[in-house]
């Protein structure tokens, strides 16, 4: 969590409220101006008529139960769905499944035509218990999820008189569930942190409110970090990374580098390269007088973009 306070010369100073890990040097490197933009916008329904300009070029997430999702030329349409629905719109860019109350692996999944994202809240005990099996099923091809998103909702922890987990604690949870070491997860972020100056798609920039880790699938091990065999360059040079990478990993490295500036919808870009993602979204705490941030995921209230609330 980061506290924004007025600094010298009118600049905003960012104070880290969780200083327990070196991990945070990799998620506080982006300029605050860059983090103001959104990449995913949630709506109750699409506006009638012409789409407001502020929504252009983003992934718009709506609730929809029809055979086909609404057509939209200026944005990508993702639909919210659940395991109760046997079919999802085949023309949607993404399908977002709420898996918060999932207690065991489903025997059936909705039609897997569009790439799927599963969302789980970390505030419920049953959610964390299913993570190891779910992550292994992702990587081994036994479930159609392309991304697993972990939500940290402060109100759920406050109701139990507990604080929300720090990012470093979420890293330990992901490591335990996936079998990927915390060192590998940190290397993934460190490499993108080093390449920030070259430009990067908003949703892949490591930042305090939304962080993504990239994996490749394996039949027996489930998920393996994509960047394990890539060196961390001393300078933000892609050529230096290529020189230090084993030749057998060159193809995967080029896919990884091309992903960083791919303008395709997030899940489609992952699927094209055979990558999987696990992400964590820290929702703002409504009970604290801290300037809220959104992590690039916002809600359209009909007039403005506001942080998505728990």
23 against 147, higher pLDDT:
147
pLDDT for 38 beyond 90:
yes
Give the angle subtended at the CA of 250 by the CAs of 246 and 252, to the nearest 5°. Answer: 120
Judge contact between 226 and 241, C-beta under 8 A.
no
C-alpha span between 207 and 165 (Å, rounded): 16
pLDDT for 4 beyond 70:
no
Check residue 234 and give its pLDDT: 86
C-alpha span between 191 and 189 (Å, rounded): 5
249 against 288, higher pLDDT:
249
Q: Tell me the pLDDT band of 56, cut-offs 50, 70 and 90.
A: very high
Q: Tell me the pLDDT band of 109, cut-offs 50, 70 and 90.
A: confident
91-99 mean pLDDT: 90
What pLDDT digit, counting tens, does each position of 255-271 carry? 999 999 999 999 999 99
3-state secondary structure of 182: helix
Check residue 289 and give its pLDDT: 56
Judge contact between 208 and 249, C-beta under 8 A.
no
Sign of CA dihedral 260, 265, 267, 268: negative
C-alpha span between 20 and 24 (Å, rounded): 9
Neighbours of 232 (CB within 10 A): 14
108 against 179, higher pLDDT:
179
178-183 mean pLDDT: 94
Phi, psi of 266 (to 5 degrees): -50, -55
pLDDT for 150 beyond 80:
yes
Check residue 3 and give its pLDDT: 59
């Amino acid at each position: 969590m980061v506290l924004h306070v007025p600094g010298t010369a009118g600049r905003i100073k960012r104070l880290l409220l969780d200083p327990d890990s070196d991990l945070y040097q990799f998620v506080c490197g982006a300029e605050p101006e860059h983090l103001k933009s959104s990449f995913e916008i949630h709506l109750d329904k699409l506006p009638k008529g012409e789409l407001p300009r502020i929504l252009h070029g983003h992934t718009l997430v709506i609730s929809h139960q029809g055979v086909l999702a609404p057509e939209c030329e200026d944005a990508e349409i993702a639909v919210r769905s659940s395991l109760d629905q046997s079919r999802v719109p085949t023309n949607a860019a993404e399908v977002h499944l709420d898996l918060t109350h999932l207690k065991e692996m489903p025997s059936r999944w909705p039609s897997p035509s569009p790439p799927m994202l599963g969302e789980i809240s970390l505030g419920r005990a049953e959610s964390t218990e299913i993570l190891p099996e779910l992550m292994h099923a992702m990587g081994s091809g036994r479930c159609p999820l392309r991304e697993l998103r972990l939500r940290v909702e402060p109100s759920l922890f406050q109701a139990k008189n507990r604080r929300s987990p720090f990012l470093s604690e979420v890293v330990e949870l992901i490591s335990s569930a996936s079998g990927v070491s915390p060192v590998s997860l940190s290397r993934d972020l460190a490499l993108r942190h080093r390449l920030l100056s070259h430009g990067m798609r908003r949703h892949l920039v490591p930042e305090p409110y939304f962080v993504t880790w990239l994996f490749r699938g394996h039949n027996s091990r489930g998920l393996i970090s994509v960047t394990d065999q890539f060196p961390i360059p001393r300078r933000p040079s892609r050529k230096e990374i290529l020189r230090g990478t084993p030749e057998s990993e060159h193809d995967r490295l080029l896919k990884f580098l091309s992903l960083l500036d791919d303008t395709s919808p997030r899940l489609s870009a992952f699927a094209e390269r055979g990558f999987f993602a696990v992400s964590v979204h820290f929702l703002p705490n409504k009970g604290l007088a801290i300037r809220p941030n959104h992590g690039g995921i916002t809600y359209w209230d009909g007039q403005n973009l506001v942080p998505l609330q728990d």
